[in-house]
Amino acid sequence: MREVTNETISMAAAGDTAAFEIIYRAHAGLIYNTTFRLLGNREDAQETTQEVFLTVYRKLPSFAHRASLTTWIYRIAVNQAINHLRKHGAARQQTVEFDERIDERLATSRVEDRLEHQAREKIVAGLLARLSPEQRTCIVLRNLEGLSYEDIAATLQVNINTVRSRLKRAREKLMAMGRKRSGNGL
Amino acid sequence: MDCKTARDIILTDYLDDGMPANQPAELAAHLATCAACRTFASQAREELLLPFDKLPRLEPPEAIWQAVRQGISSRPSPAANLLSRLRTLLLAPRPLLALGSVTMLLLSALFLTHVGTHPQPFDPEAQLDYLGYLLETNNPPNVDETGGYSSPIEEYFL
């Protein structure tokens, strides 16, 4: 990820589009992937990512450097995605799409690899769809984005023990689902 | 370490490689003696970590940046926007703000007027003098016009 300096942030806050583009390019991948995993489809992820960066642009002058810029942008993204889920979730959560176009690079890969990848995508989408928005957010930030417990706590503005507890409950739920599928109780 | 504690650790710090210094040894000791927790640990890795491993990262479509750029170019710069909002907040006459100011002015005026006519602090001696004066004025001693008292008893005692 390209480093965003304080000078770039100040310039973007003053309305410099080129400076804001640097911020966008440095974070768009993180935000797009996070919102895609949280929302379960490309269209919503695209729409939410766009809204996130418009919000970032609008609020940049009030960014107080208390958290890192990345944590602050993650926070905006997660809040918007959770709001989106609460607003539209009930209908869409049940039909989390598995996007066959998910990675065009796979089009050239071996058929076995492609099938394995598609199966894995399906499993992940199915697992995430069964978690509450808060649990899903913790799993996405930890398992897919690789954030530490401290960074997740800063992003969600919760205690680190809350993060640990949400992860534990989410994983218990996922394991219970696995046991149900395999009929194996430990 | 009991099985519940061991499984709580497995589902969090163990899977996320975040165990505090003394925990790995304690957990390892438990896993060495508990076959059910050993199975739980390997199943947790398989079901909770493997599906998320090596998922490809998506490239955000360029259309997002185009839309964002279009969105921000049609707005004033964020700093100017913040200043304008502050200016609006401070300068624009708002009915509620105006009503509040007028109420405060009226209350202040009322308070100051009230303070001006407030009685002096209580002075017992002055009050007694005043009471004596009132009694003397309204109930003068029973004295006859010649300055003497009307009865011999009164004359004797008073």
- Clarify whether residues A6 and A85 are in a common domain: yes
- The per-residue pLDDT for range B87-107, each reduced to its tens digit, is 666 665 567 777 888 888 999
Q: What is the DSSP letter of A2?
A: -
Residue B157: what pLDDT?
63
What CATH number corresponds to the domain at position A154?
A: 1.10.10.10
In a domain, A121, yes or no: no
- Clarify whether residues A30 and A86 are in a common domain: yes
Can you say whether the dihedral through the CA atoms of B128, B134, B135, B137 is positive or negative? positive
Instruction: Identify any residues that bridge with B149 across adjacent strands, giving them in sequence order.
Output: B143
Enumerate residues 6+ apart whose C-beta is below 8 A from B11: A167, A168, A171, A172, A175, B44, B48
Average pLDDT over chain A, rounded to an integer = 84
Range of the domain at A171: 130-186
- Clarify whether residues A77 and A137 are in a common domain: no
What CATH number corresponds to the domain at position A60?
A: 1.10.1740.10
Residue A94: what pLDDT?
44
- Clarify whether residues A35 and A83 are in a common domain: yes
Cα A108–chain centre separation: 27
pTM value is 0.68
- Clarify whether residues A20 and A75 are in a common domain: yes
In a domain, A151, yes or no: yes
Quickly list DSSP for B38-75: HHHHHHHIIIIIGGGTTPPPPPPPHHHHHHHHHHHHTS
Which phi and psi angles does A101 have, rounded to 5°?
-90, 10
pLDDT above 90 for B20: no
In a domain, A91, yes or no: yes
In a domain, A185, yes or no: yes
Residue A181: what pLDDT?
65
- Nearest Cα to Cα of residue A27 among A6, A56, A7, A47: A56
Residue B53: what pLDDT?
84
ipTM exceeding 0.90, yes/no: no
**Which of the four pLDDT bands, split at 50, 70 and 90, describes residue B67?**
very high
In a domain, A106, yes or no: no
The pair of three-digit structure tokens given for residue B25, joined into one six-digit string: 């040894």
- Clarify whether residues A2 and A92 are in a common domain: yes
Segment among A8-22, A98-112, A157-171, B78-92 with least mean pLDDT: A98-112
Residues in chain A with CB shorter than 8 Å from the CB of B11 are: 167-168, 171-172, 175
* Nearest CB neighbour to B67, from listed A50, A105, A172: A50
In a domain, A102, yes or no: no
* Nearest CB neighbour to B78, from listed A13, A21, A32: A13
